[in-house]
A and B are shown apart, each in its own frame.
Chain A
C-alpha cells in the first residue's frame, strides 16, 4: 500500500480541529481517542478528549476519577472530560425552574409547567441533546487546538451526528418565525408612533444557540478541519458492522478519514505452540484479506493486541506509537 500509515499525517497537521472516533462498543474507540489525544498533547497542542459514550471509561484508561468532574488535566496540554449527562440535565432543569421563579417573582411554578419540565427529563433524546450541547459548547468556546470525541456505540453515534442537522434546521426555523414576529412588532410600533419596541430576549437566546450549533457543525462538516475514523477489530462480524456503519454515515454525508484496526494479533502468534492461538491467527489472516478487499486504502492504522490491557499514561503512549506513528503494518 502506498498510502500514509498511522494517523500523524491525517490528524496532527495544521488546521485539524476535531477528530471523531466511532464504531461498535468495546472495539477500542476510547483507547484510540485517549492515544491520539495523548500524542497530540505531546506535540504541544492543547487537547480536549471528550467521551460521549455512556459506557466509555476514560476514567479507567487514564486511571483517574474524571466522571462528571468537567475538564480534568491529566498531563500538560491534555484535558479529559467524561460527561455525566444525567447530572447535567438535572442541573439544567433546576436552572430553568429557578429562572421562571425569578422572572415572574413566583414562589410556585404553575403545576402544568412544572409537570412539563419534569416529564421532559424522561425524554429518550434528552441524554443525546445534553451531550451534543456540551460538545458544541466546548468547540464554540474554542479554547483548545484539538477536540477528540469518543462517540457512543454505532446506533447512538449516528443519532448524535444526525442531531446536528435536525437541531440546526429547527433553530433556523424558530429564528425565522421569531424574526417574523419582530417585524410585526416593528410595524405595530410605527403605526402607533411609539419610539421603542422592547428587546426580544427569545431572539437573543436563539441567536446564541444558533451561533453555538453552527460553529460546531461548520467544523464537523469541513474535511480540512475534522477527521472521522471508524474503529474495528479483525473479525468477520466487525467487518460486516463497519460496512453497514460506513453506509449509514455516507447517507448522512459523513465521509470517513480512515478505518483503525484494533486488537490485531501480532505475527509471532503464527508460530505459537498453542493450536488455539494459531487458529485465531489463521482466521485473522483470512479476515484481513476480506478487510483489504472491502476497505483497502481506507485502513490507516493498526493497533496490536497487547499482552495486557493498555491503561495509564504508559499504556496509552504504547497505543499512540501504533495508532499515530504506524509502528504495526499489516500489509
Chain B
C-alpha cells in the first residue's frame, strides 16, 4: 500500500512536471531549438557555401569540419531552397 502510494505520488509529480513544462516551457524550448537550428544552418552555410554556389572561403578547413555537418546537410539545403512568402515573416 505504502509502495503504491509512493508510486502514485511520483507519477503525480511527473505528470505535474510535464503539465507545467508543457504549459510554461515547451514554447520557450521550441523557440530556443528553432533559433539553434537557424544558427546551425548559418554555420553550415559558412563552411559549405560552395555547395550552393556561394564561394565563401578556401575549403581547406571547411573539409575538416564537413564530417560533423553531414547529417544536417540535407535539411539545410532543403530549408535554403524552400520557396518563401510573406507568412515566413510571421511564422519564420
User: Separation in Å of the A67 CB from the closest CB of chain B?
Assistant: 21
Give the residues from 62 to 91 in chain B that come closer than 8 angstroms, CB to CB, to chain A. 62-71, 73
Query: Which residues 28-82 in B have Cβ within 8 Å of A in the complex?
Result: 28-29, 32-33, 35-36, 39-40, 42-43, 46-48, 50-51, 57-71, 73
Q: Contact: A191 with B50, CB < 8 Å? A: no
- B-chain residues with CB within 8 Å of residue A103 when the two chains form the complex: 67-68, 70
- Contacting B at CB under 8 A, from A159-173, are 163, 166-167, 170-171, 173
Q: B59 near A177 (CB under 8 angstroms)?
A: no
Task: Tell whether A185 is near chain B: CB-to-CB under 8 Å.
Answer: yes
CB closest residue in chain A, given B58: A125
Classify the secondary structure of B's interface with A: helix
Which among A92-100, A237-245, A290-298, A304-312 touches the partner chain? Answer: A92-100
6 tightest Cβ-Cβ pairs between the two chains A and B = A129-B60, A125-B58, A184-B36, A120-B59, A129-B58, A181-B39
Beyond contacts A96-B63, A163-B58, A170-B46: 12 other A-B pairs, Cβ-Cβ < 8 A, are A92-B60, A92-B63, A96-B64, A100-B66, A104-B71, A130-B60, A167-B57, A170-B57, A174-B43, A181-B40, A191-B29, A202-B69
Chain B: residues with CB nearer than 8 A to chain A? 21, 25, 28-29, 32-33, 35-36, 39-40, 42-43, 46-48, 50-51, 57-71, 73
A residues whose Cβ falls under 8 Å from a Cβ of B: 92-93, 96, 99-100, 103-104, 110, 112-113, 116-117, 119-120, 123, 125-126, 128-130, 133, 163, 166-167, 170-171, 173-174, 177-178, 180-181, 184-185, 187-188, 191-192, 201-202, 205-206, 209
